[in-house]
Amino acid sequence: MGEKEERKGIFRKLKSGLSKTRTVFSDGIESVLKAFVRIDEDLFDDLTEALIMADIGASTAMNITDELRDRVKSERVTDGNEVKRLLREIITEKLSTHDTSLDLSGKPAVIMVIGVNGVGKTTTIGKLAANLKAQGKTVLLAAADTFRAAAVNQLVLWAERSGVDIIKAAEGSDPSSVIFDACTAAKNRGVDVLICDTAGRLHNKKNLMDELSKMNRIISRELPESSRETLLVLDASTGQNAQIQAEMFSQTADITGIVLTKIDGTAKGGIVISISESLDIPVKFLGIGEEKEDLREFNPEEFAKALFDNEEE
């Protein structure tokens, strides 16, 4: 398969995964535009409401329509299709303000993965490991969510499925000791990427901050040449609750990117725009299916295109 055909296949999968979100988002925008014979303040008010209903969030929705109003005036737009074109451009631009690629420049590159229980954190790690392995990188997993035996067992299964090694310890072990052992193994084996699972608890900010800080100190001491990513995994189907989790975690951790899972099963995919805009944190991956290939690198232009669904490749 050529690169162009592969990109088309990826886009079709994304488009299919966003079908529920698109029904709410694009159909809502279309119904507003069709209801107005001229562009006025009532139109912008209704567009703002349609964006909020698509889980974009009130503040982000108002920012988008304020910018849309300015562009409509400056370009003297009078046609609904042109309004839609401008709206798509604005959303694409807002999603494109960050570098959405992973920093894998270090030796090894270290990826810390955080998030509450139930969001798909362990599955995300497994898929990410498979993704990196397919790129020819050697990957090591660290099962530092030692408070849940199920999390460790699930990660072991993903390690086997993806063909990568894993460092683990008994249930209830000190998570930081697992990180230390994983850092030692990463050095000895010369791996390219070390991916660390962490406890999915948010019971109090100080405990979380202390735990993550201890892990990061160990990594900095043991792997001083490593690059560092901290990815927060969020369940897109929870909508605005996902944003609240992101706000809480961002107060205690230096988050470098967001992974939004379960996009394919929800109509609340508009949360991607809200999180990117309001928290100033890039969305780096989308989970759009159950297979290990279904963790996709986030492409702002393709996401906006699939959201509006107004042309084919």
**Residues 105-127: tens digit of each pLDDT:** 998 999 999 998 889 899 999 99
Average pLDDT over residues 283-297: 87
Distance CA 77, CA 62 (A): 19
Q: Which of 129, 141, 203 is nearest to 178 (CA)?
A: 141
Q: Mean pLDDT throughout 201-211?
A: 69
Tell me what pLDDT residue 98 has.
86
Q: What is the spatial distance between Cα 209 and Cα 36, in angstroms, rounded to a whole number? A: 51
Given this model, what pLDDT does residue 310 score?
Answer: 46
- Determine the residue type at 222: E
Which CATH class name applies to 3-95?
mainly alpha
CATH second-level architecture of 109-297? 3-Layer(aba) Sandwich (3.40)
pLDDT of residue 88: 92
In the chain, which segments carry CATH 3.40.50.300? 109-297
Mean pLDDT, rounded, of the chain: 88
Percent of the chain at pLDDT exceeding 90: 49
Confidence of residue 148 (pLDDT cuts 50, 70, 90): confident
Model pLDDT for residues 153-180, shown as the tens digit of each residue:
999 999 999 999 999 988 888 899 999 9
6-55 pLDDT, tens digit each: 667 777 888 888 888 888 888 889 899 888 888 889 999 999 999 998 88
11 within 8 A of 313, measured Cβ to Cβ: yes
| Separation in Å, CA 162 to CA 59, 135, 155, 232 | 41, 12, 10, 21
For the cut 70, the answer to whether the pLDDT of residue 103 exceeds it is yes
The pLDDT value recorded for residue 1 is 56
Listed in order, the ranges of the chain carrying CATH 1.20.120.140 are 3-95
